[in-house]
Amino acid sequence: MHVLAVASQKGGPGKTTLAAHLAVQAEMSGAGPVALVDTDPQASLSEWWNVREAEAPVFVRTTVDRLPEDIRRMMAFGIKLLVIDTPPAITQTIENVICVSDLVVIPARPSPHDLRAASATVDIVERVGRPMVFVINGASQRARITSEAVFALSQHGTLAPAIVNQRTDFAASMIDGRTVMEIDGTSKAAEEVSLLWDYLRGRLAKLPSHGQDGSGERRQEIA
């Protein structure tokens, strides 16, 4: 099993929408069973899942204190991917989630404020020692600020080559617990999510599975 955390200290970069879409795309592409965990007190991901008709991905109700133990249970139940949504502020919760993650996705909208805010999340990821990937989310197509964001983020870490553009399809799909792929799998929005997941799946495939280091020994989990 791999644990994928979606984290950013700033509210508004689209963490919840991105987490939901990546989880569904992973399930649709055969990388499941996939589970979701919502550690954000606003519970937006939980609310989205509650109105969702499809049974997959599954939703796991847990707390940050119980997360390491529940991760072990999910592994025993055969979950292959766990996607965790985090709060929009630098808290102990975010650090605890990053500690038990195998890969951290840091979404950022192409704006100067978002780019500056990403540094606080990066500080935690680097201190804990986890791999991370920046994702440009909510971009404006062909806007100069998007290309500037690509350059700026690439100076501070790995940047996913797939950019997710600002589209009303994303917000509309989340209203009734669906994703853009489930509304129109041929849309540009669906294509962007598919490309992003393909890239992240490739990154995860190169990492040891959860609880193991490169030699196959158990890795210590930090609560």
Domain ranges of the chain: 2-205
Q: Return the pLDDT at 115.
A: 77
How far, in Å, CA of 85 to CA of 46, rounded?
Answer: 10
pLDDT tens digits for range 61-84: 999 999 999 999 999 999 999 999
Average pLDDT value for residue range 160-185: 95
Whether the Cβ atoms of residue 192 and residue 162 lie closer than 8 Å to each other: yes
Written as one string, the DSSP assignment of 51-87 is T--S--SEE----TTTHHHHHHHHHHTT--EEEEE--
Q: Is the pLDDT of residue 186 over 80?
A: yes
Query: Which of the residue ranges 45-49, 60-64, 146-150 would you say has the lowest mean pLDDT?
Result: 146-150
**DSSP secondary structure letter of residue 37:** E
CA angle 222, 79, 173 (to 5 degrees): 100
CA distances in angstroms from 109 to 13, 106, 123, listed in the order given: 6, 10, 18
Is CATH 3.30.1300.10 the right assignment for the domain spanning 2-205?
no
Average pLDDT value for residue range 183-190: 96
pTM of the model: 0.91
Whether the Cβ atoms of residue 105 and residue 135 lie closer than 8 Å to each other: yes
How far, in Å, CA of 164 to CA of 137, rounded?
Answer: 5
Q: Return the pLDDT at 149.
A: 83
Q: Return the pLDDT at 145.
A: 81
Task: Decide which of 182 and 89 is more confident.
Answer: 182
